[in-house]
Amino acid sequence: MLKRLIYMHIDSPVLLVNPRLENLSTEMFELWDDCFSFPHFLVKVRRHNSCRIVFRDLDWREHSLDASFTMSELLQHECDHLDGILAVERAIDGRSFAYRSERAFVEP
């Protein structure tokens, strides 16, 4: 059986097996998203303010976690990766791309 995995290390390591998003809020917020897939590139996206993620641990016990804003955005970003979607595909419009150098944040 195929498994989908998200590994995060926030305060401690967490492995989310077969995560799925639920209870996506209708309220959205905008942010400059970044990604290890393109480290110096930022994309302005819209994400749900809050969500619930349901997942299993390595012992196949089900868990859920309610998240808002930064954590909600991170979970949506990572679930997108599992679906093969990169943040660039979520760009709000053609001006939603910026380059971040070590000295400056350059918006269009």
User: Which residues are known to be catalytic?
Assistant: 78
For Zn ion, the nearest residue by Cβ is 35
CB of 34 to Zn ion, least distance (A): 8
Total residues binding Zn ion (CB under 5 A): 1
Q: How far apart are the first and last CA of the chain?
A: 45
DSSP 101: -
Q: Which two tokens stand for residue 30?
A: 């905008």
Of the ranges 2-10, 18-26, 31-39, 57-65, which one interacts with Zn ion (CB under 5 A)?
31-39
Instruction: Name which position in 17, 35, 65, 74 contacts Zn ion (CB under 5 A).
Output: 35
Tell me the DSSP string of 67-81: EEHHHHHHHHHHHHH
For 79-101, b/e burial (b = at least 16 CB within 10 A) is bbeeeeeebeebbeeeebbbeee
Select 5 or 62, whichever has its Cβ closest to Zn ion.
5
CB of 78 to Zn ion, least distance (A): 7
Residues that bind Zn ion (CB under 5 A): 35
